[in-house]
């Protein structure tokens, strides 16, 4: 079945640093890929959605793309701020049955002032 | 923006206890979901529904029942709670499935002693 792997459990940066988070996915169909963000004490919320390989999704200074050749997708931001501290989930839209969301295990981003 | 509320926000029960978690959404979404969130696992789908009276099984349904009484209300039932069900539970809703954005509630923290 479809799956998503998110290897970076924790990332610690300083303000104005560059952020790059990477996930890999497995699916037999055309993927729809999402990034959700979860702030402390809240539920996850949609940050970005990407439906076409090599096309960027852009929101709140974050960019996301995916590469069909390497079956990977990425989230990046040129200059992080302390307010970006949160958990970031890569998510695959399941395409071979239930059409549900498959969440990665999450990356805890901590940005030091 | 969709409004999803959950109650209670915190619950403590004992092994073998009976617990009901409630979720209400006020944006007329067809789909509603129950997830559990555990460290290292991200969010895992327990049950979901595409309308009043409908119930679909998710990825981790064992030990859980659910009922969708109206379009707005979705309940998660633990009839014989066990310590392994200690977790943070999220409800979500969406207009459709697959590519549709899911809107999450604030979560219910359940502790089973």
- The contacts of residue A71 (CB under 8 Å, 6+ apart) are A24, A25, A26
Query: CA-to-CA distance for B6 and B90, rounded, in angstroms?
Result: 8
Backbone angles phi, psi at A84, to 5 degrees: -80, -5
Average pLDDT over residues A66-82: 92
Tell me, what's the pLDDT at A20?
96
Q: Quick one: tokens of B34?
A: 């129950």
Average pLDDT over residues A83-88: 97
**Is A55's pLDDT higher than 90?**
no
Residue A2's pLDDT band (cuts 50, 70, 90): confident
Query: CA-to-CA distance for B86 and A78, rounded, in angstroms?
Result: 38
Q: Which residues of A58-71 are buried (b: 16+ CB within 10 A; e: fewer)?
A: eeeebbbbbeeeee
Interface of A with B (CB under 8 A): 6, 9, 32, 41-46, 49, 51, 89, 93-95, 98-101, 103-106
Residue B23's pLDDT band (cuts 50, 70, 90): very high
Choose the most confident range, by mean pLDDT, from A28-37, B14-23, B31-40.
B14-23
Percent of chain B beyond pLDDT 90? 87
What residue of A is the nearest CA neighbor of B31?
A: A100
- Nearest chain B CA: its distance from A100 CA (Å): 6
**Is B1's pLDDT higher than 70?**
no
**Which residues of chain B have a CB within 8 Å of the CB of A9?**
40
Percent of chain A beyond pLDDT 90? 65
Residue A27's pLDDT band (cuts 50, 70, 90): confident
**Is B13's pLDDT higher than 70?**
yes
3-state helix, strand, coil in chain B (%, to 5): 5, 50, 45
Average pLDDT over residues B33-37: 97
- Nearest chain A CA: its distance from B5 CA (Å): 11
Does residue A43 contact residue B105 with C-beta atoms inside 8 Å?
A: yes
Tell me, what's the pLDDT at A30?
78
Contact B42 A105 (CB under 8 A): yes
Residues in chain B: 113
User: What value does the mean pLDDT of chain A take?
Assistant: 90
Q: Tokens 């959404």, residue?
A: B25
B2: nearest Cα among B33, B35, B48: B33
Beta pairing class for B4-7 and B19-25: antiparallel
**Is A98's pLDDT higher than 70?**
no
Q: How far is CA A48 from CA A19, A37, A69, B19, B30, in A?
A: 15, 9, 21, 35, 22
**Which residues of chain A have a CB within 8 Å of the CB of B60?**
none
Query: CA-to-CA distance for B98 and B76, rounded, in angstroms?
Result: 22
For B42, the closest of A45, A49, A104 (CB atoms) is A104
Does residue B105 contact residue B90 with C-beta atoms inside 8 Å?
A: yes
Tell me, what's the pLDDT at B90?
98
Residue B39's pLDDT band (cuts 50, 70, 90): confident
**Is B85's pLDDT higher than 60?**
yes
């Amino acid at each position: 079945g479809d799956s998503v792997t998110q290897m970076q459990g924790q990332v610690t940066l300083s303000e104005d640093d560059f952020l790059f988070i990477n996930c890999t996915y497995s699916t037999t169909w055309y993927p729809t890929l999402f990034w959700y963000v979860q702030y402390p004490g809240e539920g996850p919320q949609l940050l970005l959605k990407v439906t076409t390989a090599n096309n960027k999704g852009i929101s709140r200074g974050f960019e996301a793309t995916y590469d069909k050749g390497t079956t990977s997708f990425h989230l990046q931001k040129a200059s992080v701020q302390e307010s970006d501290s949160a958990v970031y989930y890569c998510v695959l839209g399941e395409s071979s049955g239930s059409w549900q969301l498959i969440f990665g295990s999450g990356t805890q981003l901590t940005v030091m002032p | 923006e969709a409004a999803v509320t959950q109650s209670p926000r915190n619950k403590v029960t004992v092994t073998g206890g009976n617990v009901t978690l409630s979720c209400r959404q006020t944006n007329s979404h067809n789909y509603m979901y129950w997830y559990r969130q555990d460290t290292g696992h991200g969010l895992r789908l327990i049950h979901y529904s595409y309308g009043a009276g409908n119930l679909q099984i998710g990825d981790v349904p064992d030990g859980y029942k659910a009922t969708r009484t109206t379009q707005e209300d979705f309940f998660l039932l633990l009839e014989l709670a066990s310590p392994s069900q200690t977790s943070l539970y999220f409800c979500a809703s969406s207009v459709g499935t697959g590519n549709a954005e899911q809107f999450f509630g604030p979560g219910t923290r359940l502790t089973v002693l």
